[in-house]
Amino acid sequence: MEKTLVLLKPSCIERNLIGEVIGRIERKGLIIRGMKMIQLDEKILREHYAHLVDKPFFPALCASMMATPVVAMCLAGVDVVRVFREMTGATNGRKAAPGTIRGDLSMSGSLNIIHASDTPENAEIEIARFFRPEEVFDYTPANLKAVYEHDEI
């Protein structure tokens, strides 16, 4: 089953929204395969946000991502990368659609609560960046048959 990498950013932790976001993940029927709290540093952020290191806002982005630990999650589901990006919403919380995590919980273009992998290829790279292999658990939740029709998984 496809996997994606999610980070609950310091803006999520500082606003006491961890439970709100994890509740949405659970209610949707996504499988939590890995979850831990980590303090990010500039080295890992320069890898994770390599596409943004030359942007003028990069130092502020780094500072905001190091303000508290983050909660890193590995989620699984059918088409989970696309499904969870759609649940995440547009980058800027003021433009993200209502009903999305950012659209409902954020008013900022940088303090936008959550990171989610954008492609299955990047998801594999990002999971390996934040989790050791033994920290990602391969188990079958008892309710899987209630989440998917038998021919969907």
Cα torsion angle, 65, 71, 72, 73, sign: negative
Q: Which of 26, 47, 57, 129 binds ligand UDP (CB under 6 A)?
A: 57
Measured N-to-C along each axis, helices 80-88 and 18-28 cross at an angle, to the nearest 10 degrees, of 140
Most distant pair of Cα atoms in the chain: their distance: 49
Nearer to ligand UDP, 111 or 147 (CB): 111
Q: Establish if 118 lies at the interface with ligand UDP (CB under 6 A).
A: yes
Cβ–Cβ < 8 Å for 10, 70: yes
Q: Which of residues 1-40 bind ligand UDP (CB under 6 A)?
A: none
Other residues' Cβ atoms within 10 Å of the Cβ of residue 139: 9
Tell me if 124 contacts ligand UDP by CB under 6 A. Answer: no
How many amino acids of this chain bind ligand UDP (CB under 6 A)? 10
Q: How far apart are CA 42 and CA 119, in angstroms?
A: 23
Smallest gap from residue 6 Cβ to ligand UDP (A): 11
Q: With binding defined as CB under 6 A, does residue 119 bind ligand UDP?
A: no
Do the beta carbons of residue 66 and residue 45 sit within 8 Å? yes
Establish if 66 lies at the interface with ligand UDP (CB under 6 A).
Answer: no
Residue nearest to ligand UDP (CB): 110
- Stretch 98-117: interaction string toward ligand UDP, x if CB under 6 A: -----------xx-x--x--
Residues noted as catalytic = 115
